[in-house]
Amino acid sequence: MKRFWMAVTLLLTAGVLGACSNLGFNDSSESTASSGTKTATYQTTGTVDSGMYQGVIKNGRYQTSKTRGLATSTNTQSGTYNIKSMENGLLDLAKKQFSTSKYVFQEGQLITEATAENWLGRKSKDNANGLNPASNGKLDEDTRAPIYLQTLLEQDFMTQSGSKLQLGGIAIALGMNEYDYYQKVKYGATYTTHISDAKLVSEGESMAAEIVARLRRLSGVGKNVPILVTLYKNAGSDALVGGTFFRSVLSTSGSDLGKWSTIDQQNETLPTVNNAKPLDSNVSTDFSDFSEQIENFFPTLAGVTAQAHYQDGSLAGLNISINTQFYSETEIMSFTQYVATTAQKYLPDGAKIEITIASTAGTQALITREAGAKGFYTHVFGSY
Amino acid sequence: MKRFWMAVTLLLTAGVLGACSNLGFNDSSESTASSGTKTATYQTTGTVDSGMYQGVIKNGRYQTSKTRGLATSTNTQSGTYNIKSMENGLLDLAKKQFSTSKYVFQEGQLITEATAENWLGRKSKDNANGLNPASNGKLDEDTRAPIYLQTLLEQDFMTQSGSKLQLGGIAIALGMNEYDYYQKVKYGATYTTHISDAKLVSEGESMAAEIVARLRRLSGVGKNVPILVTLYKNAGSDALVGGTFFRSVLSTSGSDLGKWSTIDQQNETLPTVNNAKPLDSNVSTDFSDFSEQIENFFPTLAGVTAQAHYQDGSLAGLNISINTQFYSETEIMSFTQYVATTAQKYLPDGAKIEITIASTAGTQALITREAGAKGFYTHVFGSY
């Protein structure tokens, strides 16, 4: 059976790191404001923010994935929103398991590009390791065998043991399709198979078990290295916000998976499109009150949109974009202070807030509030 | 004599404010984290940063200049760098005179667009108020009468007196041409008249005296409202950094100007072009050490450039732009922490630092350090 166009995206997977126990790594500081430490070949980035990981630098260069080029080229197919959101989200979930003060972050080095390509493919005579189902020969939206697993993301967490750096944990995200887009003929119209949540859970959970078993067989992965596996549901291709995580499991040793947990996340854009019912009417009202104050500040209307992120039913974060046409530096300064005080007055307490003010000339100002904080930080991009 | 193309730029000047003593303004808080206060017609922006002014909002809209559209259209002729730098710089100079805790900022409302056009023009039969010299009929670079005054910027500083808002101070910047660009015939080649520093000082000082006398005659400007007049030297049209202020004077009452002070400012871009000698070899060496560490972090080279700003011979600020092609969110996070720790290690202490990390997709991260501060603030632009 001929295989049609298949949007399989590979993320951040690269050459097997066979020598984990031999990495030279000296004198790493526990201090979160430390500069990077250095030996002949290994170094860490250092960090000035205790909530951020240090990253691994090898021979003076950041340890990127070998599939980096591939990921770039397929970036637009799966949507930048999904990819960014998945990377961010997996890192956040991993932080609960692998503390930023004890672990150093490394881009995924265990799953090679060729391996990932096989795993993300359909099962077939040529590809025994394909995690997606073999084609059943059907092309109909409801009867064909869809691609469940779209993307695979690996993040590694290293610990220091004496002067060495060794693998201390792995986090995996399986990017699952709620909507599987496909063509019946090459360059033909795009059709969509919708996949139910129940099916995503059952398919994702069995793929996770298989992936953990396979990872344990890789050299460099100890029997007792904790592996966090998470299931992520890609947002549809027309969404202006990424998808959400819905399940996670921690394998502490062997191929034993442990107990699955539900992750309760929801994303939406505000204002909602076509008068759709917002996830939380209070948040939506607060946001529209805020927008109203902002939009009329200048003679030319400013556009205000937001990505809202909910965890366990509560607003966890708001990313607000304000687009306007003014350009004067003092106008931007006044506007920034106004937006910050308006945000303080109208936006919900507690949630993390990022407000970006942009004009046609690019980003002009940034306003942020950390989760749980009261005060806002403002910055107007300057020029001498 | 026919007037040829003349790049006269107007900035932020607008309708005469005749009713300063009748502005409704209630209950403004001295607190720098206050929200904007409101009456029927007037409001302030509020501010969350004590180093920033509150701005004036009238009938729910920011009090912009009536020449705003004009300023936009002529923006590119005079160079965005000059305009941004002049606006920022004048506000910084004004802050020393008019404290952000006592004064509210208002975009210039005294000099109307028509007035500014006249003042910036050449003196002629039709334009008795032109501050630039009448044409002498010559077209030669060295013998013609150049345009000395290119731009005029007004900023107003309001004080609250009971429930009213009244003019408490004025800051004026005269944008002077070191290089006056002109055409001998319409659409012809561009020629340049170079103007000496001594000439800029003498011309600027006499124009300043005239402008103060004229401002004092405007209704709404009291006899004792302090007027800060500053002279700014526009950078050449090919510069990647704005010009600098070189003289200032404070008129406290009447048309008495007071004593002129010299302002010692210098700007440069780093790395210097064509092996030009840097203004400060230590700063230049620190910056190139920093750049070297950054440029090789990723497989694709990152471009690192800076605007350096010096005051009284010392580095006062560095605006660093890093352009790179990577896109992964975790790569950006690691890079940001690395850049911040590298900045801490290599860049000079004391100066204000702003580092922007951009890719083709726009601004990705921001790293800042306030003047005199030790720690760096980092922010990676997120997406849900």
- pLDDT tens track for B286-326: 999 999 999 988 878 889 999 999 999 999 999 999 998 87
- Contact criterion met (CB < 8 Å) for A88 and B329: yes
> Is residue B85 domain-shared with residue B221, that is, in the same domain?
yes
Model confidence at A20, pLDDT cuts 50, 70, 90, reads: very low
- The residue with greater pLDDT, A6 or A299, is A299
Type of residue numbered B96: K
What is the chain B residue with the closest CA to A357? B363
> Measured between CB atoms, which of A55, A88, A337 is closest to B47?
A337
pLDDT digits (tens, 9 = 90+) for B41-99: 778 999 999 899 999 988 888 888 766 544 544 444 456 799 889 999 999 999 999 99
The beta-carbon neighbor of A319 closest among B35, B368, B382 is B382
Q: Assess whether B212 and B314 both reside in one domain.
A: no
Chain B contact present for A290, CB below 8 A = no
Give the tens place of pLDDT for each residue, B171-225: 999 999 999 999 999 999 999 999 999 999 999 999 999 999 999 998 889 889 9
Show residues of chain B in contact with A33, CB under 8 Å: 344, 375
The pLDDT, as a whole number, for residue B161 is 78
3 state SS for B308-329: EEEECCEEEEEEEEEECCCCCH
Same domain, B212 and B295: no
Give me the CATH number covering residue B316. 3.30.300.190
Does one domain contain both A253 and A272? Answer: no
pLDDT of residue B67: 61
Residues B246, B264, B122: CA angle, nearest 5 degrees: 10
Interface of A with B in 183-242 (CB under 8 A): 241-242
Do A250 and A306 have their domain in common? Answer: no
A159 touches chain B (CB under 8 A): no
Contact B340 A46 (CB under 8 A): yes
Please answer yes or no on whether B382 and A335 come within 8 Å at the CB atom: no
CATH number, domain containing residue A42? 3.10.570.10
Closest approach of A211 to chain B, Cα-based (Å): 22
Q: Apex CA A353: angle with CA B383 and CA B336, to 5°?
A: 55
- Name which of B333, B377, B383 is nearest A81 (Cβ-Cβ): B383
Q: Which of A329, A337, A341 sits opposite B84 (nearest CB)?
A: A329
Q: Domain check: are A112 and A33 in the same one?
A: yes
pLDDT of residue A26: 30
Q: Per residue in A302-319, pLDDT tens?
A: 899 999 999 999 999 999
| Residue-level pLDDT at B13 | 29
Q: How far apart are CA B290 and CA B341, in angstroms?
A: 10
On the question of pLDDT at A103 being above 70, the answer is: yes
Domain end, chosen from A193, A228, A263, is at: A263
- Among A263, A281, A314, which residue terminates a domain? A263
| CB-count exposure of residue A215 (10 Å: 0-12, 13-18, 19+) | buried
| Residue B187: inside a domain | yes
pLDDT value at residue B12: 33
Q: Answer yes or no: do B126 and B258 share one domain.
A: yes
Query: Do residue A340 and residue B47 have CB atoms under 8 angstroms apart?
Result: yes
* Residue B29 pLDDT: 32
Split at pLDDT 50, 70, 90, the class of B38 is: very low
Residues with Cβ within 8 Å of B282's Cβ and at least 6 positions away in sequence, in order, are B348
Is any Cβ of chain A less than 8 angstroms from the Cβ of B51? no
CA A125 to each of CA A1, A130, A149, B228, B281: distance values in angstroms, whole numbers, following the listed order: 11, 10, 19, 82, 66
Signed CA dihedral, A321, A322, A323, A327: sign only: negative
The predicted structure's pLDDT at residue B288: 96
Selecting from B307, B363, B377 the residue whose C-beta is nearest the C-beta of A363 gives B363
Nearest chain B residue (CA) to A88: B329
The DSSP result for B85-133, as a single string, is HHHHHHHHHHHHHS-TTT-EEEE--SS-HHHHHHHHSB--SS-TT--BP
Cα distance between residue A161 and residue A24, in whole Å: 10
pLDDT at B164: 81
Same domain, yes or no: B45 and B185: yes
Per-residue model confidence (pLDDT) at position B66: 60
CB A365 within 8 A of CB B84: no
Chain A residue with the nearest C-alpha to that of B57 = A297
| For residues A132-143, average pLDDT | 95
- Give the per-residue pLDDT at B328: 86
Contact indicator for B232, B245 with CB cutoff of 8 Å: yes
pLDDT beyond 70 at A50: yes
What lies within 8 Å, CB to CB, of A318 at 6+ separation is A283, A287, A306, A307, A308, A309, A347, A348, A351, A352, A353, A354
One domain, residues B234 and B309:
no
Task: Check: CB of residue A271 under 8 Å from CB of residue A305.
Answer: yes
Spell out which residues of chain B touch residue A47, defining contact as CB-CB under 8 Å: 337, 340-341
Taking CB atoms and an 8 Å limit, are A61 and B298 in contact across chains?
yes
Co-location of A256 and A300 in the same domain: no
d(CA B43, CA B25): 7
B1 in a domain, yes or no?
no
Share of chain B above pLDDT 90, in %: 68
Cis peptide leading into A348, omega within 30 of 0?
A: no
Contact at CB, B83 and A329, closer than 8 angstroms: yes
Show which of B263, B279, B296 is a domain's final residue: B263
Instruction: Tell me the HSE value of B288 on the side-chain side, using a 13 A CA sphere.
Output: 10
pLDDT tier, A42 (very low <50, low <70, confident <90, very high otherwise) = confident
Position B3 pLDDT exceeds 80: no
As a whole number, the mean pLDDT across chain B is 85
Domain total of chain A = 2
Q: How many CB contacts within 8 angstroms connect chain A with chain B?
A: 252
Same domain for A253 and A358: no
On whether both A173 and A256 belong to a single domain, the answer is yes
Q: Interior CA angle at B282 toward B281 and B283, to 5°?
A: 90
Which among A62, A298, A345 has CB closest to B297?
A: A62
- Asked whether residue B3 is domain-assigned, the answer is no
Tell me the pLDDT tens digit for each residue of B155-172. Answer: 999 998 777 889 999 999
Query: Cα dist. A46→A32, A56, A65, B339 in Å?
Result: 7, 9, 20, 9
Among A residues 4-43, those touching chain B with beta carbons less than 8 Å apart? 12, 33-36
Given the DSSP bridges, would you call strands B149-161 and B104-107 parallel, antiparallel or unpaired? antiparallel
- For residue A4, is it within any domain? no
Instruction: Flag whether B4 is in a domain.
Output: no
Contact A149, A132 (CB under 8 A): yes
**pLDDT recorded at residue A18:** 23
ipTM confidence: 0.86
Give the SS3 label for residue A165. strand
Q: Is A126 helix (H, G, I), strand (E, B) or coil?
A: coil
Report d(CA B310, CA B268) in Å as an integer: 9
Q: How far is CA B120 from CA A240, B133, B152, B261, in A?
A: 48, 10, 8, 24
Looking at every residue in chain A, the average pLDDT score rounds to 85
Residue range(s) defining the domain that contains residue A275: 268-380
Q: What is the DSSP string of A339-384?
A: HHHHHHHHSPSSSEEEEEEEETTEEEEEEEE-TT--PPEEEE----
Asked if B155's CB is within 8 angstroms of A330's CB, the reply is yes
Q: Which residues of B are less than 8 Å from A346 in CB distance?
A: none
Residue A1 falls inside a structural domain: no
Most confident of the following: A2-11, A194-203, B115-124, B160-169: A194-203
**Is the CB of residue A109 less than 8 Å away from at least one CB of chain B?**
no
At A130 the three-state DSSP class reads: coil
Q: Please, which residues 119-138 of chain A have a Cβ atom closer than 8 Å to chain B?
A: none
Residue A75 has pLDDT above 90, yes or no: no
B299 CB within 8 Å of a chain A CB: yes
CB-CB: which of A33, A296, A379 is closest to B61? A296
